[in-house]
A and B are shown apart, each in its own frame.
Chain A
Amino acid sequence: MALTQEEVRHVALLARIALTEEQVATLQTELNGVFDYIDQISKLDLADVEPMVHSIPLVNSMREDVPVPGLDRERALMNAPAREADAILIPRIIGPGADA
């Protein structure tokens, strides 16, 4: 199975990464190389095999409903690229091209 450039662009949009056309072409080649290798996993006989999410047999790992002090606001926001009125400032969500 080979990825098309259109699929590469679609995946990049899902992943929110802007790619140049040159990157699209390079990634298409590289990813197809990787997937050629990964596809060998289809050779494994995995009928009746349970999927493993965790390697250790641990269940019901929870915490009690007890408050723990959080971060003060300055510490919480110290890495914010832009702030206004103690909130994080971001550009508009709906761009000029969108139809509302």
Chain B
Amino acid sequence: MRKTLEEVMRTWEPVIGLEIHTEITATRTKMFCGCETAHGGEPNTRVCPVCLGMPGALPVPNEAAIEWTVLAGLATGCEIERVSQFHRKNYFYPDMPKNYQISQYDRPFCKEGQLTIEVGKEGIAQRLDRDQPGVVTPTEDGYETRIGITRIHLEEDTGKMVHVGGSEGRIAGATHSLVDYNRAGTPLMELVSEPDIRTPEEARRFVQKLRLIWLTLGISDGNLESGSMRVDANISLRPRGQAELGIRAEVKNMNSFKSLHDAVAYEIVRQAEILESGGAVAQETRHWDAGRKVTSSLRSKEEANDYRYFPEPDMVPFEFSDEFVASVVARLPELPDARKERFCADYGLPASDAAILSEDLELCAFYEEAAGALGAKLDTLAKPLANLIVNDLIGALNAAGQELSASKVTPAGAAALVMLADEGAISGKQAKEVFADMIETGADPAEIIESRGLKQVSDTGELAAVIDAICEANPDKVEQYRSGKTGLRGFFVGQVMRETHGQANPQVVNELLGEKLDG
């Protein structure tokens, strides 16, 4: 009954902008007071007059949180505003102790940045105009596109509420609520993207990329499920070819990358159906219900928002000197894009492997450590090592539902295995066997080879003797082979392998068989 995403995308072009709130978990204290930031804990135990909004209390901004935000701006190509300030955003809500949020308005810390996202083959079909010139940049197995960043500003987080008496802790139907202010005042960075996103996959990729940057900077744990990273999507549709924007709805409450993708996809189809039936999209906030897989409007009696922003008079403006900005620039680590390029350039990896490795900080560290252990062999073995990690290791982890951090394989072990295979000590097939053992036990590959007697036989004299014996035992087969039935070659190889318990070096066997049978 519902149309598919692909169907509606043919008629309608989605225009999507994201607002991404990230809790800065790198600071020790809250945004405007000295209370410690941490998740969980007994309710109302990490609070003070300031974050409880007690009468007379005043906010004093956390220097470190501001520096982190500037760092985030630099990492996303933003201009750092030399003069900035906080504003008050006025609205009443019980989890916000002052009934205004200290935020930023027309003078945020960072403005006008951008991020390049890569969409792989799984998301390419959603971008119908990908082949039109100048729209996106094609890559090996997908495309790249640039998403603008309007601004990054800093504000304070709210407390948390538990809704009681309704079903499943939902706000609707609850009889009362309980408020805990431990989270109130946690530094919260809001990034607003330009409405440059066109598909659910692009939305997902943008947030994934951003999360990776935040993790690389160490600014936040970037956890969507726990809410330290929260994504709101503004979505509107317009007929393909039309420049004018449609009416947008805002979707909230996506707690995973899958939810984000699915909620955006759902909302696109929902809006298309409304528009196609002659209706109008309501400008409203909708909540994604991951269980029912729908967005729904949560209307209350509240009037339309009028935030009455004005400059926060409890604080003075910020003026960032060149020296200050330079000092933050100096803190910038290698960012994911640069890392990927380095992996291609320095290690000779294909872009796809480099992308996979550089998109996961742990995997990346694992690879770099293992590559370091290759020593002089780095140039020739960097690629096989990447293969092992990208294919075998990730495959095994996925199959076991395991995180890399829980894996028993060490970077040194992975490097040793690659080197042993390269030296011809074991065959490729044996290497797989050894690796399976390493996953299981975490043992050193040399030990596994030793204990399982997996040493590859490359000694020509030893193998020649085996081949001689086989030929002697099968004169008819030798005859048939020599009279043209060369398909029997496989038979001889198989026999050698059987005799040597699979430890014969196939290359040496082939060479010797050639000499013996063809010579």
Contact = CB atoms under 8 A, between A and B. Distances in A.
A90 B163 CA distance: 10
A72 B43 CA distance: 11
A53 B60 CA distance: 17
Given A90-B94, A94-B174, 13 more contacts: A14-B306, A14-B308, A60-B316, A61-B60, A64-B64, A65-B65, A70-B33, A71-B47, A93-B171, A94-B172, A94-B300, A95-B301, A100-B172
A68 to B, nearest CB: 3
B491 interface: no
Contacts of B165: 92
Interface of A: 10, 13-14, 16, 53-54, 58-73, 76-77, 84-95, 97-100
Given A61-B60, A76-B44, A68 B319 contact: no
B85 A65 contact: no
Nearest to B66: A62
Interface string B37-52: 0000011111111011
A84 B313 contact: no
A63 B60 contact: yes
B313 A54 contact: yes
17 contacts: A13-B303, A53-B317, A59-B319, A61-B315, A61-B316, A65-B64, A66-B28, A68-B33, A68-B35, A69-B34, A87-B44, A88-B44, A90-B177, A92-B176, A93-B94, A93-B177, A94-B173
Interface residues of B, number: 56
A71 B163 contact: no
Interface of B: 27-29, 33-36, 42-49, 51-52, 60-66, 85, 92, 94, 161-163, 165, 171-181, 298-301, 303, 306, 308, 311, 313, 315-319
Contact of A65 (B29, B177, B315): B29
A69 B315 CA distance: 22
Contact of A73 (B45, B85, B161): B45
Contacts of B94: 88, 90, 93
Contacts of A77: 44
A63 B51 CA distance: 15
B316 A70 contact: no
By DSSP majority rule, is chain B's interface helix, strand, loop, or mixed? loop
A68 B92 CA distance: 28
A86 B29 CA distance: 22
Secondary structure dominating the interface of A: loop
Contacts of A93: 94, 161, 163, 171, 174, 177, 300
A99 B299 CA distance: 6
Nearest to B319: A59
Nearest to B313: A53
Contacts of B303: 10, 13-14
Most buried by B among A65, A85, A97: A65
Contacts of B178: 84-85, 87-90
B29 A67 contact: yes
Contacts of B174: 92-94
B151 to A, nearest CB: 20
A38 B385 CA distance: 75
A86 B42 contact: yes
Contacts of A62: 60-63, 66
A76 B159 CA distance: 14
Contact of A59 (B172, B298, B318): B318
Question: When A and B form their complex, which 9 residue pairs have the shortest distance between CB atoms, in order from nearest?
Answer: A68-B34, A100-B172, A70-B48, A65-B64, A87-B178, A62-B63, A88-B179, A58-B316, A53-B311
Contact of B52 (A59, A76, A91, A92): A76
A92 B177 contact: yes
A56 to B, nearest CB: 8
Nearest to A88: B179
Which of A58, A93, A99 has most B Cβ within 10 Å? Answer: A93
Nearest to A87: B178
B34 A66 contact: yes
Contacts of A58: 316
A47 B133 CA distance: 48
Given A90-B176, A100-B299, A65 B28 contact: yes
Contacts of A60: 316, 318-319
Contacts of B66: 62
Contact of A54 (B27, B34, B46, B316): B316
Contacts of A89: 176-178
A89 B94 CA distance: 10
A37 B163 CA distance: 47
B92 A67 contact: no
Nearest to B174: A92
Contacts of B171: 93-94, 100
Given A61-B316, A62-B63, A92 B175 contact: yes
B395 to A, nearest CB: 42
Contact of B34 (A61, A70, A97, A98): A70
A75 B56 CA distance: 16
A65 B48 CA distance: 16
Contacts of B298: 100
B322 to A, nearest CB: 14
A86 B44 contact: yes
A95 to B, nearest CB: 6
Contacts of B49: 71
B48 A71 contact: yes
A64 B308 CA distance: 30
Nearest to A77: B44
Contacts of A84: 178
A77 B313 CA distance: 27
